[in-house]
Amino acid sequence: MRPSKYIFISGFLLAGLLVAFTPLPVPRNEPMHHIFHVDSRSFAFTPAEIKVDRGDLVTIELTSSDVVHGLYLDGYELEISTDPGQTNQLTFTADRAGSFRFRCSVTCGDLHPFMIGKLQVGPNLLLWRGAGLAILAALAGVWKFHQ
Amino acid sequence: MTRKPLNSLPGFNFWIKSRWPQLIIRAVLLGGFIIAILAGFLGTPVGNRNISIVAVWIAWWAALILVAVPIFGRGWCAICPIPMPGEWLQNKAVLGPSVNRNSSKVSRRFPKRIRNIWLQNAAFSLLAVFSVVILTRPIVTAWVLLALILVAIGVSLFYERRVFCRYLCPVGGFIGIYSQQAPLELRVADPSICATHKEKSCYRGNEEGYGCPWDVYPGSLTANTNCGLCMECLRTCEYDNILINLRSSGDKLPAVRGGSLDSSYKAFIMLGSAIVYSAVMLGPWSGLKDAAYQIGSLTWWGYAVGLLVVIWAALPGLFYLVTRAAHKLSPSFHNPRQIFNTHASVLVPLSLTAWIAFSLSFVFANGSYLVPVLSDPFGWGWNLFGTSNAIWTPYLSQYVPVLQTIVLTGGLFWAARKSQQIAEARNAPRQSWPIIIFCTFITVSLLWLFVG
Ligand code: SF4
Ligand SMILES: [Cu+2]
């Protein structure tokens, strides 16, 4: 291996680490309290996409318009369920940034495993970093490490 | 490429040549397969409480796409129970070849025109348009499994060798193309021994074993695609000339001549279905899910036609334009079809990692359904191991998006390198650029679907 090969590989690795971990300035507003009314029916949440800023207090009021459904929030590992006609609340501080799926946690029929919604907290840095890493990976692939 | 034969490990050849370990594993799996069919017909119609759905689409699928295919290539085919009853009937034997093995064996070859993977492409596409229903309704899964095994039995009574595996099995086609990347291969140690060995026992069979069930001549193997790792040639070769190697990189690229259109299409089908499934099954768009589910409705027709157009026309069409641009940028003497087919092979790692990323999310979110179902496989209220009341909980939900990002970018790097190698082997180094831009675009779209 020529020494320049090491330089290129280390360069790409360093760039990758930078893209993956550089702290980025995220605009911080005054934390707000958001209350979302989320209705569930087989097999959808309405609204299915929710956006808040990092640090906000979030209350989800879950209702059901047909059978028993639940809501499990990925990443936060929180869960509530609700009977038809009943409202159940889940309140938490959105202290993790990113995009999180929420999914029905009570078997409610065939499409139950696919009953999914999405909570976005602040800018989705993982997506942007992932896109950056992808571009870097593509460039690294073209580079002639061999020879 | 460095290779390390595993045959020198103590006991390796003994255990591989013995038919018992393989037979026992396959028999257990056949038992499981039959239970899955019975559970589908007789058990609860609730998918995630029925072992047919949970064992097949969560446990088996996870083991296949996250472990078996990336590490062992066609390793699953070596222990697959589906062709087994057909093979027994075809061979008129369960264990080894019987004494007068040539007496009345079927020797009809599969028709030449369809000795390719177009039928597998069609079979996979057919299942793909019904996939949401197959994945969620036990009885539909049972019908699919039953159909697979009956077709496998049927063709093995009519044609020689494992025709079902090689030309029909909807899973076999993609395992084949992905096995090209596996770190494991079966090859001959010294091709010159084969060249002078007239009997070709590996292809024809002898008292020790059957002629290659996959209709492959091991002496000239250069790719994993059609080698089912069934180990018959290890048993039959009188010269112990067959090796199982660990290797440092995948099969050599067909860089100059180009692959074949049926394999290219397999890659488009896998890539396209990974994209569509990710949107339908992991996205927040309930309209799409309903459309995929309401079979026969107008929206379902829209979904089915849309899916087929994406995988059979839109993706290949777009890719064709990309290869034309590649040729403009850096001309080589190959015809458009060769350029298209060779470059399409970069979609093999790209779509494999797309499927891994998709499965990570699906499997970790739903894996815990396995715990209660083991105690109550039919959903009849049993409690065999005391776990039937275990509560569903997704595993690693914080880390799955990060894992998916790593897997997808790794796949893109892999595809980009492969593309660059193809282009350089053709002395047209810039041919890779449009291809890699296309792959990057696909990767970023998938990232958006998974972690966006
Ligand atoms: S039996 Fe062995 S030596 Fe003979 S052709 Fe087959 S692999 Fe080669
Ligand atoms: Cu539900």
Q: Are residues A109 and A135 in the same domain?
A: no
User: Closest residue (by CA) to atom 1 of ligand 1?
Assistant: B237
List, in order, residues 6 or more apart from B333 with CB less than 8 Å away: none
Per-residue confidence at B99, pLDDT binned at 50, 70, 90? low
Give the total residue count for chain A. 147
CA pair distance B116, B293, nearest whole angstrom: 31
Instruction: Evaluate if residue B251 carries a pLDDT over 60.
Output: yes
Query: Tokens 């893209």 identify what position?
Result: A19
Verify whether the Cβ–Cβ distance B284 to A101 is below 8 Å.
yes
* A16 and A88 together in one domain: no
Lowest mean pLDDT, pick from A63-67, B1-5, B40-44, B143-147: B1-5
Ligand 2 centre from B360 Cα, in Å? 22
Q: Are residues A43 and A104 in the same domain?
A: yes
Mapping DSSP onto H, E and C, the string for chain A reads CCHHHHHHHHHHHHHHHHHHHCCCCCCCCCCCEEEEEEEEECCEEECCEEEECCCCEEEEEEEECCCCEEEEECCCCEEEEECCCCCEEEEEECCCCEEEEEECCCCCCCCHHHCEEEEEECCCHHHHHHHHHHHHHHHHHHCCCCC
* Residues A133, A94 within the same domain: no
- The alpha carbon of B62 and the centre of ligand 2 are apart by a number of angstroms equal to 24
Cα separations in angstroms, B247 against B73, B241, B250, B405, B409: 12, 17, 7, 26, 23
Q: What is the pLDDT of residue B258?
A: 65
Tell me the mean pLDDT in the region B23-31: 96
Q: Kindly state whether residues A49 and A111 are assigned to the same domain.
A: yes
The pLDDT value recorded for residue B100 is 56
Which atom of ligand 1 sits closest to the CA of residue B201? 1
CA A68 to centroid of ligand 2, rounded, Å = 7
- Report the first-to-last Cα separation within chain B, whole angstroms: 38
Query: Is residue B202 a contact partner of residue B217, using CB atoms and an 8 Å limit?
Result: yes
Whether residues A138 and B47 touch (CB distance < 8 A) is answered with no
Mean pLDDT of chain B: 92
Report which of A21, A105, A29, A25 is spatially closest to residue A60, judged by C-alpha positions: A105
Three-class secondary structure of residue B437 per DSSP: helix
Report the pLDDT value the prediction gives residue A147, as an integer from 0 to 100. Answer: 47
Domain boundaries, chain B: 3-181, 261-450
| Confidence label for A2 from pLDDT (cuts 50, 70 and 90) | low
Average pLDDT rounded to a whole number, residues B315-322: 96
pLDDT digits (tens, 9 = 90+) for B277-315: 999 999 999 999 999 999 999 999 999 999 999 999 999
A16 and A76 together in one domain: no
A141 and B366 in contact by Cβ < 8 A? no
Number of domains in chain A: 2
Let me know if A7 is exposed, middle or buried by CB neighbors in 10 A (0-12, 13-18, 19+).
Answer: exposed
- Closest residue to A110, CB basis, from B137, B437, B447: B137
Q: How far is the CA of B288 from the centre of ligand 2 (A)?
A: 16
pLDDT bracket for residue B256 (50, 70, 90) = low
Same domain, A19 and A42: no
Nearest atom, ligand 1, residue B200 CA: 5
Same domain? A117 vs A56: yes
pLDDT at B101 over 60: no
What pLDDT band is residue B106 in, cutting at 50, 70 and 90?
confident
ipTM of the modeled complex: 0.94
Element housing B245 (H / E) = strand B242-247
Rounded distance between C-alpha atoms, residue A97 and residue A7, angstroms = 34
Domain CATH number, residue A92: 2.60.40.420
Q: How far is B382 from chain A (nearest CA, A)?
A: 18
Same structural domain, A64 and A117: yes
Q: Which residue has the higher pLDDT, A26 or A124?
A: A124
Report the percent of chain B where pLDDT is more than 90.
Answer: 78
pLDDT digits (tens, 9 = 90+) for B179-189: 999 999 999 99
Q: Is B241 in the pocket of ligand 1 (CB under 6 A)?
A: yes
The distance of A29 to chain B (nearest Cα, Å) reads 22
Q: What is the mean pLDDT of residues A121-134?
A: 94
Task: Record the pTM.
Answer: 0.94
With a CB cutoff of 8 Å and minimum separation 6, the contacts of B229 are B72, B73, B74, B75, B77, B78, B184, B186, B244
Q: Residue A81: what are its φ and ψ, rounded to 5°?
A: -140, 170
Q: Is A89 touching B (CB cutoff 8 A)?
A: no
Which helix (H) or strand (E) is B5 found in, with range?
A: strand B3-5
A47 upstream amide cis, omega within 30 of 0: yes
- Count of Cβ atoms closer than 10 Å to residue B15 Cβ: 12
Q: Give the pLDDT of residue B41.
A: 97
Tokens 């779509």 belong to residue: B351
CA B292 from chain centre, in angstroms, equals: 23
Q: Which domain holds residue A7?
A: 3-24+128-145
What is residue B74's predicted lDDT score, i.e. its pLDDT?
95
Averaged pLDDT for residues B377-388? 92
